[in-house]
Structure 1
Amino acid sequence: MPLPLYPPFPRTRSFLVQTSRFTYSQFLETMPDAALVIEPSGNIVLANTQAHTVFAYQPGRLPGHSLQTLVPNLNEQLGNFLISARTRPLGTGQILTAQRQNGHEFQADMMLKPIELDGAHFIVCVVRDVTQRLQGKRAREELLGRTMMECYPGIEQTELFAALKRCMETRTSERMVNKFVYPDNSYGWFELSIQPAPNGICILSNEITERLLSEKRIETQLRQLAALRDIDIAITGTFDLHVSLNTVMLHTMAELGADATSILVLNQHNLMLTLAAGRGFRTRSPETARIRLGESFAGRAALERRIIQIHNRAEEQVEPHFAELWAAEGFVTYYGVPLIVKGQVVGVLEVFHRKPFEADEDWLRFLEILAGQTAIAVDNAQLFQNLQRSNVDLMLAYDATIEGWSRALDLRDKETEGHTLRVTEMTERLARAMGISEAEIVHIRRGALLHDIGKMGVPDSILLKPDKLTEEEWAIMRQHPQLAFEMLSPIAFLRPALDIPGCHHEKWDGTGYPRGLKGEQIPLAARLFAVVDVWDALRSDRPYRAAWPEEKVLAHIRSLSGTHFDPKAVEVFMKVLGEQTPVASSTESPPTP
């Protein structure tokens, strides 16, 4: 039924002149309630943003509709009020039933006020939704005259009832925070002030749900920030992936309330996900899992690059791997999030619950943050492993090159073939017996392999001469330690190995060459090697002499202890050989090396 019109109004439309319309629209936007401007015919010509919100219309869609669309049966509810054209303010007591665009009804208090603008007559209609206020009023009315036990069955078992009872008996005041559960199982927190009153008590209640939830949210965020800090320290403090992932899992279970969690790492070569770390599992089943990219829920999370959520067993039964795992572990919910770093998937973080669980937005956001941290940990560890592998390959290549050089020297001088590897092995044994670290032994080995590298600068006519050398030829031969130093010192990684090539012909008493170093001026590695070099040379055949017997060699070495050799080096050498009893000194002169 259309709205009755006012008594005849002029049909001027000056109100709708652009300036007036814009100005009045701005005024309506300042109003906190829904505000409409309607023509006498009932058509809406203006509506503020709050009106669109209250009646659930898209912005700008209310003008052109009839007021009766918003308030069905308007005539029946207000009688002849509109025809009488008098103001009806808010709160006059009559509540109307209004209707939103989706058909849902609500209780509304409506102000109607005739206005005249630019000679045209209109009605300003202000609407306020009072549904919750009326519900609260009805709830209060229902409580009046009833006991607390009638209104809240079981309240006598609560701390609130005990506090009320104490206040009644002792006539003292109390303050407390109480959790109230509503009929729909939602809940709120209230701060209660209980005061004695004549013939009873007075309870002042202040709802603090929002405040407590905000405090709880802040506490959670602070705890999560601390967890992320711990994870950052673990990632930056070690390249041990096991340590980093254990820290991630510890905080994942604590902050997300998970019963179990696992971290799967993707092998980029065969595209298989395998377990890198797990916590909270009752069985060892996850340890043997090998999941291909795109298969199972973890494989889907990695392939599709999105969180996979499982909340029902029907969906779980589709995957045989999960069916077995869930049956053994008793899981009911699952979340799998891909680990992505630098645009590349490196694994999957899985979270399991044994009780029904529905994640909220904050929970999922923190899960994604943890996944990001986990991805960084995996990527850092893999980069470090690759770097280590590259370093090992490089070191092996260096050592292979050095051994190649040493073999080239042996091939040049057939009489000393095999000498280099023998003296290198024995020198390493002596170094270990002296307690030298393995890191230093690496350089000792390289120096031993290259001890005669300087002979590459000695002419074949001298190096391969079958007879004894002349003094002039010896002068050239004695240059090979200096030549070795000049050849190797420009190579940075061989500088720590220069002690043996440059000093292995120095003597304890200072009569050696090339620099005439004496005693402990001679590097320890060179002192050890000098003993081994002479020992192996005397035990080998030369063009100008036959090899000496072992006993004669050892006796000769002892005879040179304190002159040619470091006495401590000789002692250790004898122990390494298992020779501990004195051997008679040899009076024969050794062959010139």
Structure 2
Amino acid sequence: MVADPDIAAFVLNYHDITDRVRATEAAKDLNAQLERRMLHLQALRRIDMAITNAVDVALALDIFLEQVQADLKVDAAGVLLYDAHTQTLQPTAARGFDGDLDREARVPLGAALAGYAALEQRTVYLQDLQRDPRWGSVVGAEWQSSYAAYWAVPMLAKGQLQGVIELYATHTFVPDAEWFEFLETFADQGAIAVESVLLFRSLERSNIELQLAYDKTIEGWAYALDLKDEETAGHSQRVTQMTVRLARRLGVEGKELTHIQRGALLHDIGKMGIPDSVLLKRGPLDVEERALIEQHPVYAFDLLSPIDFLRPAIDIPYCHHEQWDGSGYPRGLAGEEIPLPARIFAIVDVYDALTSERPYRSAWSRERTLEFVREHAGSQFDPEIVEAFMAMVRAES
């Protein structure tokens, strides 16, 4: 019968159709797999962008969990971050649960399912969570009764534990190798996200602490200068506070205001280079001594300009003795050639000096001092800043 040419042709045609069907099915499976991998890569790309742009752990984890939940087709997911100091896991983010995140929970390594996954650094998988005496940890046990399948996956970055991902599904299913591959990739990406954000926060904290240390050092320098000359005790703090208030009134804000504050504190730092015999002299200065005193802004420039942190604050120490009409020192700048911080500070400095008690004269009254400032607007002082200063002093009195 096989020798019959019609039957032989039918058999060959049948095998050909079967092979084509199989090839078509294989192509469909391959296309589906490629599509899944493409969606997976897109999800990883979105997580990568979240890592790059987020500076907040909660935000980064929320984006991360959204991708995990959608790509792995689970009903709920959460992250517990690892605290190396207490060696515990703390619930930090969750999506898909009816109940709230159990923020007060602390899971020791080895305890519960998440703690065991963290300690052993391997995935814990339960086909039916309800049959196990242990529970997940990201939410309270009372919110886990509707879930069947459960996974706890350690998040490791460079071999260091960052936390654990918990996944929950309401239906029982046995994932294939590809699903577990995706899961492990997500865990690695999540660990990198956590490590990156926490590193940024740590650097940010360190930077703030360093800035505070710098500012304390500056205050210490200013205080030391005030102590050196009893006549000017407290002067640096007073003029700094008033200068900052006036600068704010003129619209200065942000980093520029910080530089003004530091510059005001250090306005007389150059006097460290003046001999005490001249700096603390009670009588009038001779020509040479006066010339030496007038070098202190230059000394301030030489002292501060090599320090990157303080270079933006140099305008006041270097230029606060310049005058609007160009008759000041050390460079004879005039008008708006004088930096704004120095023009602001010059008025405050004179006001504080005249209203303060000195051994050789009594303190001037506020009104007499304001009149002096007004009279020197356009010659010694910037007239527009004088107006703002007058308004501020009257508003504060």
- TM-score normalized by structure 2? 0.90
SS in 2 for 1:263: strand
| Alignment partner, residue 233 of structure 2 | 417
Q: What code does the residue aligned with 1:223 have?
A: L
| Per-residue deviation, residues 308-360 of structure 1 (Å, max 9, x unmatched) | 11222455333496895255551111111101011110101111111222221
2:320 equivalent among 491, 495, 504: 504
The equivalences for 1:167-566 within 5 A come to 206=21, 208-313=24-129, 315-319=131-135, 324-325=140-141, 327-328=143-144, 330-566=146-382
| Per-residue deviation, residues 474-494 of structure 1 (Å, max 9, x unmatched) | 111111111111111121211
Runs of 4+, deviation exceeding 4 Å: 319-324, 326-329
| Per-residue deviation, residues 526-555 of structure 1 (Å, max 9, x unmatched) | 000001000100111112111011111111
The root-mean-square deviation of aligned C-alpha atoms, in Å, is 2.3
Change in Cα spacing, 1:467 to 1:407, as seen in structure 2 (3 Å) is: same
The answer as to whether partners of 1:535 and 1:553 remain within 8 angstroms in 2 is yes
Q: Which has the higher strand share?
A: 1
The answer as to whether partners of 1:260 and 1:281 remain within 8 angstroms in 2 is yes
Q: What code does the residue aligned with 1:471 have?
A: V
CA distance in 1, matches of 2:357, 2:396: 26
SS in 1 for 2:98: coil
| Alignment partner, residue 576 of structure 1 | 392
CA distance in 1, matches of 2:129, 2:61: 29
SS in 2 for 1:301: helix
CA distance in 2, matches of 1:212, 1:434: 70
SS in 2 for 1:446: helix
SS in 2 for 1:435: coil
CA distance in 2, matches of 1:327, 1:530: 67
CA distance in 2, matches of 1:503, 1:320: 65
CA distance in 1, matches of 2:227, 2:238: 15
| Alignment partner, residue 108 of structure 1 | none
Q: Which has the higher helix share?
A: 2
| Per-residue deviation, residues 361-407 of structure 1 (Å, max 9, x unmatched) | 11111000000000000011111111111111111111111111111
CA distance in 2, matches of 1:447, 1:535: 17
CA distance in 1, matches of 2:49, 2:132: 37
Residue 454 of structure 1 deviates from its aligned partner by 0.9
Residue 285 of structure 1 deviates from its aligned partner by 4.3
CA distance in 2, matches of 1:503, 1:433: 21
SS in 2 for 1:340: strand
- TM-score normalized by structure 1? 0.61
CA distance in 2, matches of 1:570, 1:514: 22
The answer as to whether partners of 2:128 and 2:150 remain within 8 angstroms in 1 is no
SS in 1 for 2:331: coil
CA distance in 1, matches of 2:144, 2:27: 42
How many positions carry a matched residue from both structures? 380
CA distance in 2, matches of 1:376, 1:568: 54
Tell which structure's C-alpha radius of gyration is larger: 1
The answer as to whether partners of 1:301 and 1:338 remain within 8 angstroms in 2 is yes
Q: What code does the residue aligned with 2:279 have?
A: L
SS in 2 for 1:578: helix
Structure 1 portions without partners, runs of 5+: 1-90, 92-192, 194-204, 582-593
Structure 2 portions without partners, runs of 5+: 3-16
CA distance in 2, matches of 1:509, 1:323: 71
Of structures 1 and 2, the one scoring higher in RCO (CA 8 A, sep 6+) is 2
The answer as to whether partners of 2:325 and 2:380 remain within 8 angstroms in 1 is yes
The answer as to whether partners of 1:283 and 1:329 remain within 8 angstroms in 2 is no
Q: What code does the residue aligned with 2:40 have?
A: Q
CA distance in 1, matches of 2:200, 2:295: 44
The answer as to whether partners of 2:138 and 2:166 remain within 8 angstroms in 1 is no
Change in Cα spacing, 1:431 to 1:244, as seen in structure 2 (3 Å) is: same
